[in-house]
Amino acid sequence: MGHHSDSRVIRAHKAFEALVLLITMFATLTWLNANPRPVSFEQFMGVSIQVRYIFIAIFSAAVWSGVLAAFGAYGSNAYVSAARTIPAVVGSALVTPLVVFGALRVLEPGLAHHRWLLTVFFLTGAVSLLVRLTAMMALHSAAIEETRTLIVGTGPGARSLLEKLRSPESRNHHLLVGFIGVGPESEYAGENVIGGLHDLEAILMRQVVDEVYIELPARDFYQEIEYTLATCQKVGIECKYAADIFGAASTLPAVAWHGSHLFVTRKPVRIEDHELFVKRLLDIVVSALAIIAFAPLMLIIALAVKFTSDGPVLFVQDRYGLNKRLFKMLKFRTMVVDAEQRQASLENQNEASGPVFKIRQDPRVTPLGKFLRKTSLDELPQLFNVLRGHMSLVGPRPLPLRDVSRFEDSWLMRRFSVKPGLTCLWQVSGRSNTSFNEWIAQDLEYIDRWSMRLDLEILMRTVPAVVRGSGAM
């Protein structure tokens, strides 16, 4: 993420952490000082609120945040590794009680109880550490280790741009996919030139590309720049160009710093980096809790698969993820072991429209597999894909390589501009009864309408859809 995106994420996390600390401190103070001490949730809710504990909690949370800042806990480096954030939290847990205790001894000696102060800050430190480690997981898993970059242009500007992207000032590690040559402007021609502008669409369809930079003089290549922008938007790839390339800003541009260089980003999805952070945070929390909750059920299913048919418990298959990155998708095996080898002989029985392959009475599906598919229980292992960051709770369903290889229209590739998900609009609107065109239309509608509210609505609609088993194959 860029510097401005980082600062927004850090500000959002700082506010969230302060709120959690405030609630934890107030609740702990109230519980420790209640007479008699409540032993149940109902009793706790019946305890009268004391205004002084509110002020102590606010003061303590403010001091805690200040001490954390003094330890460098809000800098971007604090989110790099646990080795950097743990000492900051532990140091704050040691220093803050001393500051608060000293202030209370002067302002309100009757409230300076060292025992409950230590208890409060021990619990608060544990909560703060948990919040921060979760935030680190979200940031790390949302980040792409290397950014695969394609540059349109081959002149001196392209040479200078590549040097800036590879400079220490650039936060991301840029891996050059290649240059796209345009017209006679070919001073930087060489082995890194992988095609001309007429090849751009095909390259974006078939190669892993995270972003496209345009480095062309607008006065001479206005039409070529327009074509590049339109192609990237159609395919669903971020496109960037220097902020001053045009006299006026383009439609819905996003300005971002990369090192000391300012660029305008044309994002295919209207999701800000801090919103992606919140979405990833939700993915981690919900998937982790779901794995714990469903662990006994998954164990039972695994044993049932193992003892009812030959072969492994899990079906592992390469699927396309964000920007066509391959990942290993997990499912409980619902077919015979040689199902993929037998698919070629069943192509003439395909009942689905478009490039996808579906047979309602697929002879490769085991008896147990029919039940698992009907109830969607075979998808439970994908919670681990969500936890690892390959997938999200909500997003277009990941497609097999066979299906994607049959895409003929480049606009279909825009569904890969977001992470694939466990569920999405089409899955709560008919599932396998939906035609391919309707399916893709709903995927693109989700991308265009994305919001956290929409994600929550889809998650809530998924449960009754799964219970009904509507449209499952």
Same domain, 299 and 394: yes
- Please, are residues 473 and 360 in contact by the beta-carbon 8 Å criterion? yes
* Residue 460: both structure tokens together: 């809530």
Same domain, 347 and 333: yes
Q: Which pLDDT score, from 0 to 100, does residue 365 have?
A: 87
Rounded CA gap, 178 and 190, in Å? 10
Report if residue 95 sits inside a domain.
yes
Instruction: Say yes or no to pLDDT of 457 above 50.
Output: yes
Rounded to the nearest 10 degrees, how much is the dihedral formed by the CA atoms of 238, 16, 387, 273?
A: 0
Instruction: Say yes or no to pLDDT of 250 above 50.
Output: no
Report if residue 43 sits inside a domain.
yes
Report if residue 251 sits inside a domain.
yes
Same domain, 436 and 294: yes
Same domain, 379 and 342: yes
Locus of tokens 């078939």: 206
Instruction: Say yes or no to pLDDT of 201 above 70.
Output: yes
Report if residue 174 sits inside a domain.
yes
Same domain, 333 and 456: yes
Same domain, 296 and 430: yes
- The enclosing H or E element of 329 equals strand 326-332
pLDDT digits (tens, 9 = 90+) for 72-91: 666 655 555 666 677 777 87
Bigger pLDDT: 415 vs 33: 415
- CA-wise closest residue to 413 among 267, 268, 216: 268
Q: CB neighbours (10 Å) of residue 414? A: 21
Number of residues assigned to the chain: 473
Q: pTM score, two decimals?
A: 0.64
The count of C-alpha atoms lying within 13 angstroms of the C-alpha of 50, restricted to the half-sphere facing its C-beta, is: 16
Domain boundary among 142, 172, 198: 142
Q: Which pLDDT score, from 0 to 100, does residue 433 have?
A: 59
Strand, coil or helix: 247 = coil
Residue 2 pLDDT level (bands cut at 50, 70, 90): very low
Residue 377 pLDDT level (bands cut at 50, 70, 90): very high
Instruction: Say yes or no to pLDDT of 49 above 60.
Output: yes
* Residue 197, domain CATH: 3.40.50.20
- CA-wise closest residue to 423 among 452, 386, 453, 397: 397
Q: Which of 57-71, 121-135, 246-260, 296-310 reaches the highest mean pLDDT? A: 296-310
Domain boundary among 90, 124, 142: 142
Instruction: Say yes or no to pLDDT of 216 above 80.
Output: yes
Beta-sheet strands, E only, within 84-200: 147-152, 174-181, 193-196
Same domain, 299 and 395: yes
- Please, are residues 143 and 322 in contact by the beta-carbon 8 Å criterion? no
- CA-wise closest residue to 181 among 210, 221, 148: 221
Same domain, 243 and 340: no
Q: Which residues lie across from 149 on neighbouring strands?
A: 176, 211
* Residue 143: both structure tokens together: 């980040």
Instruction: List all residues 6 or more positions away from 213 whose beta carbon is below 8 Å from its beta carbon.
Output: 149, 150, 151, 152, 161, 165, 239, 240, 241, 263
Strand, coil or helix: 392 = strand
Report if residue 473 sits inside a domain.
no
Average pLDDT over the chain, rounded to an integer: 79
Q: Which domain holds residue 112?
A: 3-142
Report if residue 316 sits inside a domain.
yes
Q: Looking at the 3D structure of the chain, how many domains does it have?
A: 3
Q: Which pLDDT score, from 0 to 100, does residue 109 have?
A: 66
Rounded CA gap, 163 and 176, in Å? 11
Same domain, 289 and 408: yes
Same domain, 135 and 25: yes
Report if residue 356 sits inside a domain.
yes
Q: Which pLDDT score, from 0 to 100, does residue 48 have?
A: 65
Residue 246 pLDDT level (bands cut at 50, 70, 90): low
Report if residue 130 sits inside a domain.
yes
Instruction: Say yes or no to pLDDT of 248 above 60.
Output: no
Number of helical H runs and strand E runs in the chain? 15, 11
Same domain, 205 and 137: no
Same domain, 299 and 233: no
Residue 305 pLDDT level (bands cut at 50, 70, 90): very high
Domain boundary among 142, 160, 188: 142
